[in-house]
Structure 1
Amino acid sequence: MQSENPFVADFVKMMNSAAGTLAGMGREARDSARERFKEVLGDMDYVTREEFDAVKELAATARGEVESLKARIAALEAKSDQ
């Protein structure tokens, strides 16, 4: 049979409570930091992936049209030089 010292039992209970409290505080701090980070990012002018892809496609199309127009101008200039 094992005898239990009341001082040790109370100390163990207190340490378990402290560990639980610290773990809860850690979770709360982490969640709070995550929410703050989301707020900061939300205030910035970021675009969505869909918007980025749409503008990227428009830029590629415009680049192709510019190259086509450059070729036509070069052909017209060559024709007028003759």
Structure 2
Amino acid sequence: MHNPLAQRARALHLASMQSENPFVADFVKMMNSAAGTLAGMGREAREGARERVKEFMGDMDFVSREEFEAVKEMAATARAESEALRARIEALEAKLTPPL
């Protein structure tokens, strides 16, 4: 059976040896710095891509959903009015044209 107190002392000793070793400390600092740099590069890449997409979409002639719905409603109203006018014209022509 292992002594928990001895295991704790050994872990503390190993940790203090690692922190005193300049190579390990420098390596850990370098890895932390590299991780931070990579994270920053990822954020910058995402932001750059987002800006390029916004610019690309801004150059295109897109309409908003509200504009589309308004034009769609106008077209439906115009179609209904056209059909009503066609029916009136046909009725007037029928009155003017004598039966054969």
Q: TM-score, normalised by structure 1?
A: 0.83
Matched to 1:52, the amino acid is: F
Note if 1:9 corresponds to 2:28. no
Note if 1:25 corresponds to 2:41. yes
Q: TM-score, normalised by structure 2?
A: 0.70
Of all paired residues, the percent bearing the same amino acid is: 74
What is the root-mean-square deviation in Å for CA atoms of aligned residues? 1.7
Q: Which runs of 4+ in 1 moved over 4 A?
A: none
Larger Rg: 2
Matched to 2:40, the amino acid is: G
Aligned twin of 1:56: 72
2-structure distance, mates of 1:30, 1:43: 20
In structure 2, stretches of 5+ residues that fail to align are 1-12
Greater RCO (CA < 8 Å, at least 6 residues apart): 2
